[in-house]
Homo-oligomer: A and B are copies of this chain.
């Protein structure tokens, strides 16, 4: 197996640190001299000896300064703050990169999809949705079409303007498309793994599929198990896959205690370093209990994204 991990006493010379951080040796020295960004130990002849923590810190500093912040402002900030800033800048950059999401007509697509579903026209429904994915890109589709479409369909069904069969058809087609999209993201074996499923008693699978697609898009290797699985099954899959996290979607909570028992069973059968992330409408109502047992919750797709990125710590490779 792996060694003990980052040897705490590992002492890296400046050349290695420059290579790893992408900062020039001059910058490393001047950041230390002028701003006290790090304080490496010294070797016998006075050479700097950096620790792994120093490297991590410097990498963060590189990230936030590259994003436009001045080194003088951030040099002495604690590591967590730096990580938060880096994340903030990253999403800002991403937002700037895709301002086009609005240019496509998400509302029109949703309206059309509902109409096709009402007509039980599978072929056209499927084609319209596939086309939308290709046109808009996955993230915009999931965010701007899939999620609202499901909400709309639910509302329509609730109001009696849509039959169960029409609503099921829509979910099932959407599910297939989302999963197919997810599978099209091939990731190499070194990627971190995540298991996505719903626990016993929960048959609404579509939320899990959306979550799986987003995780795949974020570079995770997703093991998608589908719906209605006992906690033991999920835990065993996670263990044998070497997963870093398990995501469960909770939509409908009929019996609060039963659901919580399932979750507790899952927690107890997973290694401590595997995190549990719960999402879906039902998860919100259980948020307090979930937090108490050390599970994280995501109340929507954006929150899910945040949890995904946060959960990996700094050691994403």
Give me the interface of A with B, judged by CB distance under 8 Å: 3, 7, 10-13, 15-16, 18-20, 22, 43, 47, 67-70, 73, 80-81, 84-85, 89, 91-100, 102, 104-107, 127, 130-131, 133-141, 144, 181, 184-186, 217-219, 316-317
A134 adjacent to B138 (CB under 8 Å): yes
From known contacts A16-B67, A80-B3, infer whether A96 and B184 are also in contact, taking CB-CB under 8 Å: no
B94 adjacent to A140 (CB under 8 Å): no
Which of B10, B13, B100 makes the CB contact (< 8 A) with A139? B100
Q: How far is the CA of A138 from the CA of B141 in the complex (A)?
A: 12
From known contacts A13-B68, A67-B19, infer whether A98 and B140 are also in contact, taking CB-CB under 8 Å: yes
Q: How far is the CA of A68 from the CA of B13 in the complex (A)?
A: 8
Which of B15, B99, B130, B218 makes the CB contact (< 8 A) with A68? B15
Q: How far is the CB of A282 from chain B (nearest CB, A)?
A: 29
Q: How far is the CB of A235 from chain B (nearest CB, A)?
A: 28
Q: How far is the CA of A92 from the CA of B52 in the complex (A)?
A: 13
Q: How far is the CA of A80 from the CA of B131 in the complex (A)?
A: 31
Q: How far is the CB of A317 from chain B (nearest CB, A)?
A: 7
Contacts of A67 in B (CB 8 A): 16, 19
Which of B68, B127, B144 makes the CB contact (< 8 A) with A16? B68
CB-based nearest B residue for A80:
B3
Q: How far is the CB of A123 from chain B (nearest CB, A)?
A: 9
Contacts of A96 in B (CB 8 A): 19-20, 22, 105
Q: How far is the CB of A60 from chain B (nearest CB, A)?
A: 14
Q: How far is the CB of A129 from chain B (nearest CB, A)?
A: 12
CB-based nearest B residue for A127:
B186
Q: How far is the CB of A18 from chain B (nearest CB, A)?
A: 8
Contacts of A127 in B (CB 8 A): 186
B92 adjacent to A130 (CB under 8 Å): no
Contacts of A47 in B (CB 8 A): 70
